[in-house]
Amino acid sequence: MAETMKGLKRSHRCTEVSSSLAGQKVTVMGWVQKSRNKGGIIFVDLRDRSGILQIIFEETKCGSECFEKASKLRSEFVVAIEGTVELRAGAVNKNLATGDIEVIASSLRILSEAETPPFPIEENSKTKEEIRLKYRYLDLRRPDLQRNLMLRSKVATIARQFMADEGFLEIETPMLCKSTPEGARDYLVPSRVHPGEFYALPQSPQLFKQLLMCSGYDRYFQIARCFRDEDLRADRQPEFTQMDMELSFVDIDDVIDVNERLLAKLFKEVLDVDVELPIKRMTWQEGMDRFGSDKPDLRFGMELHDISDVVKDCGFGVFTNAIAAGGSVRGINAEGQGSLPRKKIDALVEYAKTYGAKGLAYIAIGEDGSLKSSFAKFMTEDEMSNIVAAMEGKPGDLLLFVSDKNKVVWDTLGALRCHLAEQMGLLDKNVFKFVWITEFPLLEWSDELGRYQAMHHPFTMPMEEDLQYIDSDPGRVRAKAYDIVLNGNEIGGGSVRIHQDDIQEKMFECLGFTKEQAYERFGFLLDAFKYGVPPHAGLAYGLDRLAMLMAKQDSIRDVIAFPKIKDASCLLTDAPSPVDDIQLKELGILVEKDQKEEEQ
Ligand code: ASP
């Protein structure tokens, strides 16, 4: 029978018990990690979220009833133990924070028994993720996940305190919002009171935080849950958390300044890492030209080289045609990879194709300087050596080239560069390289929609000096937008907002909205701006990704207590699930029959 607390109070967490308490009584509570019965003595490793503490039951010290009870202990039983701290008589266990002491038990309460868990509760579990997620409450007992969630909590606490000290107000914005599709797909919530009408869950607090600026709150902060119904991608979650902020009477530098100090504080206090300030800034154009990416990983080099000028008159049609069509030929130098076996090079070619490249041309430079290449037969010797020189190729290097439209070239080489760096072991999780990416294009052409789309969102301010091109060459207009990038991950992004009606109208026009359509969706914001709006700007971090990088994990699922899997379902609760017909009826919703059957 499970016992109860009945006046018993925990005095310490497991690893708070230390040698400085030798000789004193303590009361500890937690889960049995393991228990070994060595005849007259029972060793129990007790675990709580702080770590592990060794407890010893000796019949002569705790009495026969208690000893008898202790002999029944099994893994994951929940217990309360009173005892005396002693310095270890035997060998000190250097792997344990409490390895120099043990607690000699005087009493034991079994607060709850436990069945054998479906997988061992231990660090670095090899258990399949589906099983871990089905039994997430057990998985969350594992020390690595507990550390991750404790780190995440610390990040949130420090950020809140920092923002408060800087004069930011924490204000909640609604979860039930108006659907304003532009960007990702909304999650919709049916209204019972207004049959046939829907709320949308927020993709971000963007519009509300801008309204708060109109209302004079000046500096806003929120740790906000956001929802985006996007297509399945490996490391995305349908709901995720932003650390969101907005500031009035500011320009780019003010936002960057406050955020650099926030990042420096977080990394110092959580990881004891010094972030060098000011953080480097790079324009979007430079990011694409040098790294093929608007979120470049600066932990390693392998920069892109544009060799279009070198090959524009060569005999290789694949190169010259791409250049003639307005594209380019660029390459990266994978230093020291010249002897990569053919099979591995073929795998790189296949990888490149997944980014839209038609192929991947290469030159492998032998240790003796000889060249092996997929396109040598179209080139003169001089042309080959000019390419090698332009790529700074040395004996033993592997040069890889893509020729196509610039976007395809950048995307492919940008991804390949990171893929190779991973294979070459260049990605050290203990190194943190930050960079601000600035001067993004305001608009991005969508072939699918046949019109421009906002690269950030429709409220982002164009750069003043580019406003002149907004009618003649909208694609050329740069935005007052910025992303903060860490080790090849966009951890946050934001912009200065448009606060002038005429520019906002122009922006909607560029995005193909009529005045009426713009009003139907965003009228409340446009109206609010008529009553006096300060210039404002803001930024939002993806807290999950930031915590993942700080915890040195590979997946955001490892820093989210109850994550969903790739198809947006929850393996623990089985959400989403069918609902009662009564519920549907109340909402005035008819589910198409074949759809319902398919799901069952
Ligand atoms: N709301 C924006 C986003 O979710 C961030 C911002 O501009 O502040 O990306």
**What SS3 string covers 407-467?**
HHHHHHHHHHHHHHHHHCCCCCCCCCCEEEEECCECEEEECCCCEEEECCCCCECECHHHH
Our answer on whether the CB atom of 204 is closer than 6 Å to any ligand 1 atom is: yes
What is the CA(539)–ligand 1 centre distance, in A?
6
Nearest CA to ligand 1 atom 6: 494
Look at residue 184 in the predicted model and tell me its pLDDT. 85
Our answer on whether the CB atom of 206 is closer than 6 Å to any ligand 1 atom is: yes
In contact, 395 and 411? CB cutoff 8 Å: no
Look at residue 233 in the predicted model and tell me its pLDDT. 76
Atom of ligand 1 nearest to the CA of 494: 7
CA distance linking residue 201 with residue 146, whole number of Å: 29
Look at residue 182 in the predicted model and tell me its pLDDT. 66
Look at residue 595 in the predicted model and tell me its pLDDT. 59
Note down pLDDT in tens along the chain; length 600 residues: 789 999 999 999 999 999 999 999 999 999 999 999 998 899 999 999 999 999 999 999 999 999 999 999 999 999 999 999 999 877 888 888 889 999 999 999 999 999 999 999 999 889 999 999 999 999 999 999 999 999 999 999 999 999 999 999 999 999 999 998 667 899 999 999 999 999 999 999 999 999 999 999 999 999 999 999 988 777 889 999 999 999 999 999 999 999 999 999 999 999 999 999 999 999 999 999 999 999 999 999 999 999 999 999 999 999 999 999 999 999 999 999 999 999 999 999 999 999 999 999 999 999 999 999 999 999 999 999 999 999 999 999 999 999 999 999 999 999 999 999 999 999 999 999 999 999 999 999 888 888 899 999 999 999 999 999 999 999 999 999 999 999 999 999 999 999 998 999 899 999 988 989 999 888 999 999 999 999 999 999 999 999 999 999 999 999 999 999 999 999 999 999 999 999 999 999 999 876 555 555
CA distance linking residue 121 with residue 129, whole number of Å: 14
CA distance linking residue 298 with residue 259, whole number of Å: 20
Atom of ligand 1 nearest to the CA of 242: 4
Going from the C-alpha of 478 to that of each of 160, 165, 286, 456, 483, the distances in angstroms are: 32, 33, 13, 11, 14
Atom of ligand 1 nearest to the CA of 203: 4
What is the CA(561)–ligand 1 centre distance, in A?
24
Burial of 350 (0-12, 13-18, 19+ CB in 10 A): exposed
- Best of 219, 226, 242 for a ligand 1 pocket test (most atoms within 8 Å of beta carbon): 242
Atom of ligand 1 nearest to the CA of 226: 4
Our answer on whether the CB atom of 493 is closer than 6 Å to any ligand 1 atom is: yes
Q: What are phi and psi of 373, to 5 degrees?
A: -150, 155
> Which residue bears the tokens 């309460």?
109
Atom of ligand 1 nearest to the CA of 495: 7
Atom of ligand 1 nearest to the CA of 538: 8
Look at residue 598 in the predicted model and tell me its pLDDT. 56
Distance of CA 230 to the CA centre of its chain: 16
What is the CA(206)–ligand 1 centre distance, in A?
6
In contact, 201 and 177? CB cutoff 8 Å: yes
CA distance linking residue 483 with residue 493, whole number of Å: 4
CA distance linking residue 367 with residue 394, whole number of Å: 8
What string of DSSP letters covers 307-349?
A: -HHHHTTSS-HHHHHHHHTT-EEEEEEETT-TT--HHHHHHHH
CA distance linking residue 65 with residue 59, whole number of Å: 9
CA distance linking residue 169 with residue 472, whole number of Å: 42
Q: Report residue 99 as tokens.
A: 């390895």
What is the CA(492)–ligand 1 centre distance, in A?
8
* Segment holding 591, helix H or strand E: none
Our answer on whether the CB atom of 462 is closer than 6 Å to any ligand 1 atom is: no
**pLDDT tens for residues 359-382?**
999 999 999 999 999 999 999 999
What is the CA(541)–ligand 1 centre distance, in A?
8
Atom of ligand 1 nearest to the CA of 244: 8
In contact, 487 and 296? CB cutoff 8 Å: no
Angle at 290 between CA 286 and CA 292, to 5 degrees: 95
Our answer on whether the CB atom of 540 is closer than 6 Å to any ligand 1 atom is: yes
What is the CA(311)–ligand 1 centre distance, in A?
42
In contact, 435 and 256? CB cutoff 8 Å: no
For the chain, the first-to-last Cα distance in angstroms comes to: 40
Give 304's DSSP letter.
-
Our answer on whether the CB atom of 357 is closer than 6 Å to any ligand 1 atom is: no
Nearest CA to ligand 1 atom 7: 494
What string of DSSP letters covers 341-410?
A: -HHHHHHHHHHHHTTT-S--EEEEEPTTS-EEESSGGGS-HHHHHHHHHHTT--TT-EEEEEEESHHHHH
- Global pTM value: 0.95
Distance of CA 598 to the CA centre of its chain: 33
In contact, 331 and 307? CB cutoff 8 Å: yes
- Which amino acid belongs to residue 446? S
What is the CA(163)–ligand 1 centre distance, in A?
17
Atom of ligand 1 nearest to the CA of 246: 8
What is the CA(380)–ligand 1 centre distance, in A?
51
- Best of 173, 201, 206 for a ligand 1 pocket test (most atoms within 8 Å of beta carbon): 206
- Best of 180, 182, 204 for a ligand 1 pocket test (most atoms within 8 Å of beta carbon): 204
Our answer on whether the CB atom of 202 is closer than 6 Å to any ligand 1 atom is: no
Our answer on whether the CB atom of 210 is closer than 6 Å to any ligand 1 atom is: no
Look at residue 593 in the predicted model and tell me its pLDDT. 74
Our answer on whether the CB atom of 539 is closer than 6 Å to any ligand 1 atom is: yes
CA distance linking residue 266 with residue 277, whole number of Å: 13
Nearest CA to ligand 1 atom 8: 539
Nearest CA to ligand 1 atom 1: 206
Q: Report residue 229 as tokens.
A: 């119904």
In contact, 365 and 399? CB cutoff 8 Å: yes
Look at residue 448 in the predicted model and tell me its pLDDT. 85
In contact, 31 and 141? CB cutoff 8 Å: yes
Angle at 592 between CA 590 and CA 598, to 5 degrees: 135
What is the CA(540)–ligand 1 centre distance, in A?
5
Look at residue 28 in the predicted model and tell me its pLDDT. 98
What is the CA(459)–ligand 1 centre distance, in A?
10
Report CA dihedral (440, 442, 445, 446) to the nearest 10 degrees: 90
